[in-house]
Amino acid sequence: MSDAKDFPGLGFDPAPGIVPAVEGLLGQVRDAVNRLGQVEQEMDSVLRDPAKWSGRSGTEFYTVVRRMAANAGVTKGCLFGVQLALSGWSALLADYQRSGQSLEQQARQARERLHRAKSAPDLHLDPFSVAMSGGDATGHPDKVQRNLAAKAEVESAENDLDGIIRAGRNVKRMHDESAKSSAGEIKSAIKALTGEQWRGSHQYPGPTAFYPGAIPGAPAFMDDPNWDYKMAGDVYFADGPPRPGHSRVERVGPIVPGNGIVVFRFFISDEEAAFKTLNGDGRDFTATPGASSRMTLAWDTDTGRVVFDVTGSSTTGFLFDEGELDAHAIGPDGKNKLVIEKNEAETGFTAKITGLNALLPYFAADERVGIEFEGPPGSSPRVTLKGDDYPDFEAIQYVPNRDAVVLGTDKMYNPELPGLDGGLAAAPFMGKDRDLAWEDGKSVAPAREVKPIAPIVPMIVPVPLPYVKPPDWSPPAPPPQPADAW
């Protein structure tokens, strides 16, 4: 790691860190995630047919393997969070160091210029004393101008150096903030292994679902009735810049006190998306605050703050180089959009949302989410969802002194065609639209509009699809006809 002596121009290192070391750690974590995924798949295949586990010993062994599989899944999810944080930090650190090296080079040149300016003979001229002592009066005006020009050069050089140093300190500030943010993400992912990620979640399997001590401290977090609410506030309404790769905007919604924080998350449950070019969220429904999503809309009913966050895209390496892509900006003319319309009673609002992946210009999800509180504080609201049947959707309410409440969930449409995925539901004239509603967490208006798929695929999707050999097929035999049929 470098120090100030390696940066004589700036006088400090604006971006300390060792990128190869971070990359090495990232590779180890990525390898661990892949291995845990393989273990999880192997255990899942073993557990698919419980009937094969006969007898008392078979039943006991099946129970043990089931617990191990659940533990492996939790650990993989936590390490995947660490992997994402390290990947983002590695890219940021490399960018900060490139900026720091450029500024250091400029600072060295500025210091050389300042040294030359301070060493110029004209800087030390005293034309007034020369004239007073009977010197060459005709040279007096020239010496004044030369002296003033030398002083101006010193001032200009000092200003340039000061500006470069300020830029370096700005890089140092952003570096430190990003380092703190990445460390917080890693810390949060690791804390999940202590059971924090399960506190209040409707998926919490209970302390007996794992080996004793496998998730130490999980029951202890169950003693804090405000855990979900406090965590949701920290995750969705934290001050400061958006997370690296994310786009975020804040709007003003209605104030409906006593109803906590409501979060709408759109996520991709599949491991891969967009014809296998992008990584999905690879998870099921959960009430856990901060769970991975493609876009999130959060509303603090006590303050009226509404935050819309869009996550950047991560490429798989198929067709495109593997890497991280920053989310598009959010704005009325941008590829990601948000419009909030309060209802007349100001007990809720409708949000028009558009979200697009950062890689392809196709399959933007256009959604219209509505929410309205009609009962007393803390009651369950009515939630509506209209728009593209993609991606997956979940609505969660976090209220003080209560566990998280699931207001509604919807699985995205999947055409179940070889080489295709649910993203087709977001394409014009394809897939399905959804028009759904929930009251007290129960579905009251399930409806979907089917669109044609196959005839439009070649026109909409220019990405090459893998060849799949069609199965052998022959028309079914006609049914037997009565003797007098004609």
Please, are residues 14 and 101 in contact by the beta-carbon 8 Å criterion?
no
178 — alpha (psi -120 to 50), left (phi > 0) or beta? alpha
SS3 446: coil
The whole model's pTM is what?
A: 0.51
- In one-letter notation, the amino acid at residue 161 is L
pLDDT in tens, 226-277: 777 887 888 899 887 888 889 999 999 999 999 999 999 999 988 888 888 8
pLDDT in tens, 371-386: 999 888 878 899 999 9
Q: Which residue has the tokens 């539901």?
A: 425
**Which tokens go with 243?**
């997370």
pLDDT in tens, 329-368: 999 888 999 999 999 899 999 999 999 999 988 778 999 9
Is a pLDDT exceeding 60 seen at residue 197?
Answer: no
Is a pLDDT exceeding 70 seen at residue 4?
Answer: no
Distance, CA of 320 to chain centre = 20
Q: How many angstroms separate the CA atoms of 94 and 485, rounded?
A: 81
Whole-number pLDDT of residue 57: 67
225 to 80, 139, 404: CA distances (angstroms): 28, 87, 10
Helix (H) or strand (E) run with residue 460 in it: helix 457-460
Is a pLDDT exceeding 70 seen at residue 84?
Answer: yes
Is a pLDDT exceeding 70 seen at residue 436?
Answer: yes
Average pLDDT in the chain: 78
Widest Cα–Cα separation across the chain: 141
Percent of the chain topping pLDDT 90: 39
SS3 299: strand
Query: 144-157 burial, b for 16+ CB within 10 Å, e for fewer?
Result: eebbeebeebbeeb
Whole-number pLDDT of residue 97: 93
**Does 50 sit behind a cis peptide bond, omega within 30 degrees of 0 on the bond before it?**
no
Is a pLDDT exceeding 70 seen at residue 286?
Answer: yes
Domains located in the chain, CATH noted: 4-193 (1.20.1270), 227-460 (no CATH)
Please, are residues 463 and 357 in contact by the beta-carbon 8 Å criterion?
no
pLDDT in tens, 14-64: 999 999 999 999 999 999 988 888 887 887 777 766 666 666 666 667 667
Whole-number pLDDT of residue 426: 52
Please, are residues 26 and 34 in contact by the beta-carbon 8 Å criterion?
no
CA-nearest of 437, 443, 411 to 285 is 411
The residue length of the chain stands at: 486
Is a pLDDT exceeding 60 seen at residue 315?
Answer: yes
